[in-house]
Structure 1
C-alpha cells in the first residue's frame, strides 16, 4: 500500500470513510483497508503488517454522524438506563423501600406523642427525655463515620439486612419498658439502622430513570407513617395502654421489612453492578459546566471514598442544608401545638395540627414534588417552595387566630415536603458515584442531628422566651437553607457564565 494515499481511520482502527456495504465483514468485524471504490478490492484489515499500517494509515477523529447512525455495529455500546423494571427485580426493591419508609415515619413521629407518658413513667424533665433524640443522632453520626467500611465489606444486601436488624433491636428493647438509660441506648441502635438503610435507599432510587418520582413517593411514604403514628400513639396511651407497648407494632413492622429486604435485595450487588461505577467523563463535564475544577474531581478519585467524601465541598453544603431543613421541620412539628396552646388559646384538639402538618408534608411529596421537578426543575422548585414556606410561617406568626394558623401550618407542610426528595435528586447528580453512599450517609446523619439538636435548642429557649420562638427559628433556618442551596452548582443549565445563570 502506498503511503502517498493513506487510508484514514480513528483511534480504534475503524475506518470512517464511506465504503460499500460489501467492504464490511459483519462476521468478524474486519474492514478492507484501501477499499475506497469497487475497483480497488483492498486487503483485509487483520492481514496488514505493522509497516503497512505505519505507512498507510493515519489517525483522525471519528466521523460523528457515521457513529451515530448505527452503521458500525458492535462498536458503540450505550449504557442502559436503570428503571423500575430493568433489572426486573427493581420493582420489588422499590416497594420494599416504600414499606420501610412508612415504618421509619411511624417510628420518628411517635416520640412527640409519647413524651408526656415517658416523662411521667421515669420522672424526667424535658432536657433528660430529649436524650432519646441525641442518642438517635449519635447513631447516625457513628454510621456516617463507618459508612465507607460498611459499604465495602457488606455491600447493598447485607447493609439493608444489618440496618433492619439494628432497628429490630431498638424496638425490642423499648417495648420491654426497661430502665430509661437502656431506652436511650436503644435509640442509638435505631439511629444506626435508619442511617444504614436510608443511605442505600437514596442511592438506589437516585440512580433510577425518573428518579425524582421515585424519591418523592419514597419520602412521601415516610410522611404517611409520620401522619398516622401520633394518632395511633395518642389513642393507645390515652386508653390506658402502656406507652412502651406501642413499639410492639413497630417491632412487627420492622420484622416484615427484614423479610421483604431479604427477598428484594438478594443478589442486588451483582444485579446492580453495571450502574455502580462512576462515569468519570460525564462527571468531569458536569464539574466543568458548574465551574467545579477537574482537579477537585481528581482528588475524589485519588483518595478513599470516606476521605474523598469529606473533601468534596458538595457533601458539606448538602449536609448543612439538610441539618437546617430537618431541624426546622422537626422543631415546627414538635412545638407548634405548644405555641397554639400558649399564644392562640387553643384546646386539646390543637394536637391535630401536628398531624395536619405531617399530612401536608405527605401530600407535598407524593403529589407536588415530581411535577415541579418535571416542569420547573429541582433547583428552581426548592428555591420557590422554600420562600413560600417562609411566607406561610410569617403569616402564622402575624395572624392571631388558631384556626387560620392551623390551616397555614398544614399548607407549610405541603411546601416543606417536596424539599427533601428534590434535594436528593440534585445532590445525587453532583456527587461522583464512588462517594455517593458515603456522602449521602453523612448528609442523612447531619439531617438526623439537626432533627435532634434544634428542637432541643428551641425547647431551652422556650423556657426563657416562650414557645413563639419556634416560628422565627424556622424562618432563620430556612433562610440559611436558601443561601446554601444557591451555593450548589446549577447542573440544570448548559451554561453558567453569568451570576443569574448560576442562581436560576
Structure 2
C-alpha cells in the first residue's frame, strides 16, 4: 500500500460526498450514471480496506457483523426516508441526496480523523514483519494454495451478492404479481428482508465464533434453502413475507463470514489484495444476476425468481464445502 489508510479513508468518503453533491443537483441521466461510477469506486475502496482492517482485529466476527449490519440498516431506513420526503413533503427525488451528502461529509471527517496516524510507512512496517512485501495480487490470485481460497471466496461472493440484491430488488414485484399483494404490503416485504439481514448480522455474528465460521455457513445455507422452498411453494402472502424476512436473517452473516475466512486462511500481507479482489468480483453479482433475473422474468414471468435463487444457494453450499478447514479463532 503506497498511500496508507489515512488517504484511503479520505478517498472513500470523498468519493461518496462528491457523488451525492452531483446527484443532489438533478443532473441529466448520463451524468447520473457517471456519478454512480464514482460512488462505486468509493464503495470498492472501502470494502477492501475496512474488511481487511476489521478482519484482523480481535472478535472480528462480531465487529464485521456490526459493520455489515449498518449496511443492512441503511438499506432498511433509506427507502422509508426517501419515500416520506417524496410523498409527504412533495420534494424531488434528488433532494434525498442532500441527506446522503451530509452523512458522507460526516463519514469523510470521522474516518480521516480516526485513521490519520495510519500512514503508508506504518502499514509497510506491519506487513514486512509478517510476510513478503513484494507479494500482492499476483500471489493471491495465481499462486497455490492461496489462489484456490481467493477464487472460491470470490465466486461465493458473486453468487451471494447477486442473491441478496436479486431478492431485495425483485421480491416486491413477486409479491405484487404472484401473491397479489397491495403495493404497501409488497414494499414492506422488502423492508422486512433488509431488516432481517441487519438483525442477522448482529445476532448471528455473536453466535458464529462459538461454532466456527465453516460450520456456521454449512448450517445457514441449508436453512436458507428450506425457507426459499417455503417462499416458493406456499402460495400465501403472509407465509412468503415471513419466509423472505427469515431468509434475510440467515443470509446476512454470510458476507462477513467469507471475509473472516479469507483473513484466517491467508497470510496478512495478502489480505488487502485478496479481500479487494473477492469483494469487487462478488460485487459484479449485484449487476449480473438481477439483470439476468429481469431478462428471464420478462420472458417467463417473475415467478422464475424462486428456482433461480434456490439453484444459486445450492451452488454456494458446494463452493463453501470446497474451502479448507477453518480453525476457530481464539481472540
TM-score tier, shorter chain, comes to over 0.9
User: What's the CA shift for 1:272?
Assistant: 6.1
Q: Find the partner of 1:460 among 295, 303, 316.
A: 295
SS at match of 1:167: helix
Q: Find the partner of 1:309 among 140, 146, 158.
A: 140
User: What's the CA shift for 1:458?
Assistant: 0.8
Contact 1:163 1:196 in 2 (8 A): yes
Greater share of helix:
2
Structure 2 gap ranges (5+): none
User: What's the CA shift for 1:276?
Assistant: 3.4
Within the alignment, does 1:413 sit opposite 2:248 as a pair? yes
Q: How much is the aligned-residue C-alpha RMSD, in angstroms?
A: 1.8
**Partner residue, 2:77:** 228
User: What's the CA shift for 1:244?
Assistant: 1.1
Within the alignment, does 1:320 sit opposite 2:155 as a pair? yes
CA distance in 1, matches of 2:164, 2:309: 8
Q: Which has the higher contact order (CA 8 A, sep 6+)?
A: 2
SS at match of 1:153: coil
User: What's the CA shift for 1:235?
Assistant: 1.6
CA deviations on 1:269-324 (whole Å, 9 max, x unpaired) are 366666534635xxxxxxxxxxxxxxxxxxxx596412112212221111111000
**CA 1:363/1:274 → structure 2, altered by over 3 Å: closer, same or farther?**
farther
Report matched runs for 1:58-457 at 5 Å: 152-239=1-88, 240-269=90-119, 275-277=126-128, 279=130, 301=132, 304-311=135-142, 312-349=147-184, 350-371=186-207, 373-457=208-292
User: What's the CA shift for 1:411?
Assistant: 0.7
**CA 1:303/1:310 → structure 2, altered by over 3 Å: closer, same or farther?**
farther
CA distance in 2, matches of 1:246, 1:425: 34
Contact 2:133 2:269 in 1 (8 A): no
CA distance in 2, matches of 1:384, 1:337: 27
**CA 1:171/1:351 → structure 2, altered by over 3 Å: closer, same or farther?**
same
Contact 1:163 1:194 in 2 (8 A): yes
Larger Rg: 1
CA distance in 2, matches of 1:482, 1:336: 22
Greater mean deviation of Cα atoms: 476-485 or 395-404: 476-485
User: What's the CA shift for 1:370?
Assistant: 2.1
Contact 1:389 1:412 in 2 (8 A): yes
Contact 2:200 2:249 in 1 (8 A): yes
User: What's the CA shift for 1:469?
Assistant: 1.4
CA distance in 1, matches of 2:125, 2:218: 34
CA distance in 2, matches of 1:458, 1:277: 45
- TM-score scaled by length of structure 1: 0.62
SS at match of 1:366: helix
Contact 2:213 2:326 in 1 (8 A): no
